[in-house]
A and B are shown apart, each in its own frame.
Chain A
């Protein structure tokens, strides 16, 4: 038996500390070689990015797409100009601000309703039974499908755009809050039950904190959907915003404007997701040291 052999090791083990150390980080020291530089992660990032820009430049310069493609540098020049010049009365900052404001309003409105509702649905079977059928009807509808009806209802002003963002972000916010609670290990509740705790102990001590990571995952998904939605709304009818810049570029066959608009959306969406990630770190300090989650 294995246990027998192990048993021998057990003699005289009274004061042996095995499990007391904590490893915080490991760093290996190795000499700098050519091989290490070439296989370095950041080095490879730079190489692939440079190759991409070069390819883009060459294709644009060759003229296969005629006016439909411009070089990366032309995009930079075009947008540097927009920092001071105006397009339909707004500089680039103004357009970014217009889109960002729509997102912020729609996103906040959706999440303050959807997250509590998702939590309630997960915690209370009656709330779930009432809300779920209605929710299930709307769940599979792509938010873009709401653009036309939004314009019919709210016109071409801010309301219709915010409405579409709310529609688009509501579902993932709710679903993630709901699943965040559904997937909690039942033993965490059992600990409270055995110790004679009450239902509100379970909710405050376990349900809420345990659902935080899932809620933030939902916010991240919602945010990228919000950018999709705002773009769709601005493409259809708008006088401002990054979507509007793209439409203008299309109207005047200004490739630099279209491509630049696309790049700006990617940049701003990335920055906003960093903000959410930062907020999560602030609110969930226990997750700070977990990688790849």
Chain B
């Protein structure tokens, strides 16, 4: 399960196992992610995708195995890890602009750099005009953009996304997926994107890991070697989508 040999390995997950008491959720998962790669992980609901990301980000301890970033054990104090959670995590008391700056403030970026980068990010996600509003004054899709912009803004070593667009309606989701791909191409982050939506995974990712049911293992790996922007009714696209669907349906 190695990424393309061209780019150096950025993330190395070795024998990741997670138990909650007697319940084995993640069973000896190993894989690698190349620098700047966009990896999607798909799996049925409840198979442990969120648990998996929580382990990768060190929010919860692993039972066995570990994750290495640039050859060192991942550590939020050392590495730059960003997480876009399934639930909205904008701070209601900060304006849009302050929310985008929030991650960089926590990372203690210099003020000048924060100002510059916030301007760039706001421009990239189309929030410049609404930057002085509070999150409760903008739409749900904008709130999700704020957290995505905030996550990219810190220039992360590893960007984890947990079904960030799961709650949005289809049109908005399409729009935000395009935006996400654009951000990734512009800012060159290493992304692990979790979703239960197969089409979404094929649309955004370069490679897809398919998870099994609990106890969860990596069931298959699918390369998505399609040009961008991708076309949903392109036969090659449809073929990959069907392949992944079959893999998931297989249990």
Contacts and interface: CB of A to CB of B under 8 A. Distances in A.
Interface string A1-33: 011001111110110111110100000000000
B20 interface: no
Interface stretch (B27-35, B36-44, B80-88): B80-88
B141 A19 contact: yes
Nearest to B79: A196
B232 A7 contact: yes
Given A19-B139, A19-B141, A284-B93, A185 B106 contact: no
Nearest to B173: A6
A209 B199 contact: no
Main secondary structure of the interface of A (DSSP, over half): helix
B179 to A, nearest CB: 9
A80 interface: no
Contacts of A187: 85, 87, 89
A34 interface: no
A194 B57 contact: yes
Nearest to B200: A3
Interface string B127-160: 0011001111111011001000000001000001
Interface in A191-206: 191-197, 201, 205-206
Contact of B76 (A20, A188, A193): A193
Nearest to B87: A187
Contact of B85 (A19, A191, A289): A191
A9 B134 CA distance: 32
B123 interface: no
Nearest to B137: A289
A111 B53 CA distance: 42
B194 to A, nearest CB: 15
B232 A19 contact: no
23 contacts: A2-B170, A3-B170, A6-B170, A11-B232, A17-B126, A18-B172, A19-B139, A19-B145, A20-B126, A185-B89, A188-B91, A191-B85, A191-B103, A193-B76, A194-B58, A194-B82, A195-B103, A195-B107, A196-B75, A205-B91, A206-B91, A285-B134, A286-B136
